[in-house]
Structure 1
Amino acid sequence: MKEVTSISISSRLRKLLAYATATDRINKEYKAYIQEANRKLYAWQEDGQFVGCIGISFINTYECEIKHIAVLPEERGKHIGRQMIQFVLHHHALKRITAETDIEAVDFYRKFGFTIISLGEKYPGVERFQCVYEKNN
């Protein structure tokens, strides 16, 4: 895993973030990762190429929220997403991680051990879910 700190966004990283946020928000979100002290963006590399990324926002010293997580479609199923969460969890000695997601990603978080809570229809026709992972001591 590599922390992303470059002022300019690479085309590969832009492509990854497009899987995790609206295309018109990529530049704004990337800028926040680079400029805000409570946010970090990490990239997973295979053969020197970015194939996954995870962006987090710290709530406090022991808790963060996953803002973005993405793996290239051709690399999915290789546990890269799981390994990125494990990296963040251990690298920052976190006790709690949260994420908000849609129905398509609920099983990914559930398999990791997150508790899933429905937030209901947050947007017209779109049910959202709060995912919470509490590390056992």
Structure 2
Amino acid sequence: MREITSGVVHPTIRELLSYATTMEKVDYELARYIDSSNRKLYEYLLNDEIVGFVVVRIITSQHDEIKHIAVLPKLRGQSIGSKMVKFVCEKHGLSLISAETDCDAEEFYRKYGFEVINLGEKYPGVKRFRCEYKVG
């Protein structure tokens, strides 16, 4: 995995981010990550090809929040997402990692071992979940 530290973002990252948010919000979200000192964007490489990414917001020295995580559709189910979560936990020395998600990613977090709490319809017609994983 490699941290993206410059304003130059590979087109694959844009594609991956579009899976995690709407296409209209891609540039806005990328600008937030690149311009923020408490957000880190990491790309996952397989055979020198970007196949996944994760963005975390640093809350404290022991707690990060996953803001976005995505893997190319053709490679989902191959533990890449889990490897990215593990990488962030180890790199940042976390005792807690959390996320808020919708129905699409709830099962991913549950399989990894996150405690998943149903928040109900946070937005009309959109069920949201709070996910927390205590590391160690």
State the match for 2:18 in structure 1: 18
State the match for 1:47 in structure 2: 47
Percent identical pairs in the alignment equals 47
Does residue 33 of structure 1 match 2:41?
no
- Normalized against structure 2, the TM-score is what? 0.96
Deviation by residue 1:27-55 (Cα, 9 ceiling, x = unmatched): 11111211111000000011211100000
Gaps of 5+ in 1: none
Does residue 68 of structure 1 match 2:60?
no
* 1:1-137 equivalent positions in 2, closer than 5 A: 1-136=1-136
Q: Partners in 2 of 1:33 and 1:124 — Cα distance? A: 27
Q: What letter matches 2:107 in structure 1?
A: D
Segments of 4+ in structure 1 off by > 6 A? none
Deviation by residue 1:88-132 (Cα, 9 ceiling, x = unmatched): 000110010110111121111011110000111111111100000
Q: What letter matches 1:13 in structure 2?
A: I
- Normalized against structure 1, the TM-score is what? 0.96
Q: Partners in 1 of 2:21 and 2:111 — Cα distance? A: 22
Q: What letter matches 2:132 in structure 1?
A: V
Gaps of 5+ in 2: none
Post-superposition offset of 1:6 = 2.5
Q: What letter matches 1:124 in structure 2?
A: P
SS state of the match for residue 129, structure 2?
strand
SS state of the match for residue 78, structure 1?
coil
How many residue pairs match? The answer is: 136
Q: Partners in 2 of 1:16 and 1:6 — Cα distance? A: 18
Q: Partners in 1 of 2:109 and 2:19 — Cα distance? A: 16
Q: What letter matches 2:80 in structure 1?
A: I
Post-superposition offset of 1:8 = 2.4
